[in-house]
Chain A
Amino acid sequence: MSDYIPVLITLLLGVVIVAAMSNLNRLLGPRKMTAIKGEAFECGNEATGPGWGRFSIKFYMVAILFIVFDVEVVFMYPWAVIYRELGVFGFVEMAVFVLVLAVGYAFAWRKGAFEWR
């Protein structure tokens, strides 16, 4: 696990940068808050309704597709690393896997999951 200590250290350094810069900004910058400044920016118009509106179902569709395909991609990492040792066996196994994936892909395409309407 000691390989991952640098990851923690670097994440910490990233947090330190942001904390230092944004707090320095609060110290050095002017602080004159007014009601107008506190409004949501809508190109000079008065903001109507909350910003947290409902958004299109299409984005959920993309998220589902992402989960399906990204999980397949993750399955392929261990295979790719030891591919040379597996030889022809690995090739046939993965050909079957990709074939199944391709059928699913063709189904999603046929059902119009990739259309942005």
Chain B
Amino acid sequence: MRAYLDAIAAGYPTVSPALVYLIGMLAFGALVVFVFILPVAGITSWVERRVWARIQSRIGPNRVGPGGFLQWLADGLKNLLKEDVIPAAVDVPLFRIAPYVVVAGFVAAFVALPFAGSLIIADLNIGILYISAITSLVVIGILMAGWSSNNKWSMLGGIRSATQIICYEIPVGLSIFPVVLLSGTLSMQGIISAQGWAPTSWHMFHSPFLFVSFLLFFVGALAEGNRTPFDLPEADSELVAGFATEYSGMRSLLFFLAEWGNLYVIGVLVSTLFMGGWQVPHFTDNGVVLAVAQFATMFVKAYFWVFVAMWVRATLPRVRVDQFMTLCWKYMVPIGLVNVVGTATMMVVLPQGSIVLRWIMVAMTAAILVQFARRVFFHLRRANYGRLGRISEGAA
């Protein structure tokens, strides 16, 4: 964004550049927040319900607007018209501050998230470190919400959430290192520029270590976003609604807004770190067309991982607390350390990486995906055959 604003400031020599910068940033920030983040977070809630419904052989919300598309607006409006109950025994100031901290922490993560080659609010030189730091504000907000509610469910949910997020911070941090080692920078745009549009140049396929890092990162990010199978903090069958039990109306919706929005943040991080981000082949010299293509690429890649997270949520049961601690400390942390050392060793042995290894990694991943698709189609065919078989028996 900086370059655009400098160009605009150069066009108006009478106005102070600092003022142009400030107003431009405010306008672009507001654009990103109100036109992108809020609708994406809202629409994700509708998409998620539709996806679950389809996976569970239901229909899902389909009444409001075409295919139920406006359901998210209707839900928002309904929550707006509900009573905002603040129970008598809560710690009122903390209870009110908690949603502010959660939403501010989540929105501030978008500062360093790239949308396209030139579209990023600020390409901070500590990009990925900044994001992992600022998203930790959410933990403080959730802990505040859980503690201030003066309710046993809320407190258990808040404490569990804090435990879970700080535990998985370590494997997630460790799985970022191989990427940083390869790119030699923490800036998000720098990490993307170190990759290309072709899958063989993605960090994910650099070596087996990077591929394992990618899996660790995705699992750890699901845990940090309180997503199933790690949704212990708001386990509805154990803790009612966890830290959000005492919240009602808009305040409770804001917690879920941050959760759905965080899904998109996870998607962008996975595609930036491991999948080449917005990289497209340079097919045109028209900057606007290129920017649109880059934006679309980034969005599709990020939303694919959002979809996978929904799929996981509809498929897997919740883990127990002890299983989840074991998974983090006894499996993910040592594997993460091995990844860091392994990548460092590989970079000493093969400073430029190996294109043969990259092709082998891509081919293996493609083979796994093809085999997976074959299994899915096999079961679909079998399911259809069974249904048809029953019908014909009935007819006979």
Instruction: Please report A residues at the B interface, Cβ cutoff 8 Å.
Output: 2-7, 9-11, 13-15, 17-19, 21-22, 24-26, 28-33, 35, 37-43, 47, 50-53, 55, 59, 62-63, 65-66, 69-70, 73, 76-77, 80-85, 87-88, 90-91, 94-95, 98, 101-102, 105, 109, 114, 116-117
Asked if B334 and A105 sit within 8 Å, CB to CB, the answer is yes
Q: How far is the CB of B122 from chain A (nearest CB, A)?
A: 4
Task: Tell yes or no: B246 within 8 A of A by CB.
Answer: yes
Q: How far is the CA of A59 from the CA of B233 in the complex (A)?
A: 14
5 more contacts with CB within 8 A, not counting A66-B167, A82-B184, A83-B344, are: A17-B33, A40-B151, A41-B151, A66-B166, A66-B169
Partner of A41, one of B111, B153, B181, B329: B153
In the complex, A5→B288 CA distance in Å?
A: 26
- Are B321's CB and A116's CB within 8 A? yes
Asked if A59 meets B163 with Cβ closer than 8 Å, knowing A10-B108, A25-B249, the reply is yes
Q: Which residue of B lies closest to A94 (CB)?
A: B344
> Closest CB-CB distance, A17 to chain B, in whole Å?
6
Q: Is the CB of A29 within 8 A of B29?
A: no
B325 within 8 A of A: yes
- Within the complex, the shortest CB–CB distance from B323 to chain A, in Å, comes to 9
User: Are A101 and B250 interface neighbours, CB within 8 A?
Assistant: no
Is B58 among interface residues, defined by CB-CB distance under 8 A?
Answer: no
CB closest chain-A residue, reference B98 = A18
Minimum CB–CB distance for A46 against chain B, Å: 13
Query: Which of chain B's residues 153-196 have a Cβ closer than 8 Å to chain A?
Result: 153-156, 159, 162-163, 166-167, 169-170, 173-174, 177, 180-181, 184-186
Answer yes or no: B38 CB below 8 A from chain A CBs.
Answer: yes
Most chain B beta carbons < 10 A, residue from A10, A73, A87:
A10
Alpha-carbon gap, A22 to B84, bound state (A): 8
- B interface residue count range (under 10 / 10 to 19 / 20 to 34 / 35 or more): 35 or more
Residue from B104, B111, B173 within 8 A of A70 (CB atoms): B173
Residue of A nearest to B121 (CB): A6
> What are some 17 contacts across the A-B interface (CB < 8 A)?
A7-B124, A9-B29, A13-B33, A18-B100, A25-B80, A26-B84, A35-B88, A40-B246, A51-B150, A51-B152, A73-B170, A80-B180, A82-B184, A85-B184, A98-B337, A102-B337, A117-B322
Docked pose: A113 CA to B33 CA in angstroms = 42
B350 in the interface (beta carbon within 8 A): no
Chain A, residue nearest B89 (CB): A40
CA of A116 to CA of B320, assembled, Å: 11
Residues of B within 8 A of A80 (CB): 177, 180-181
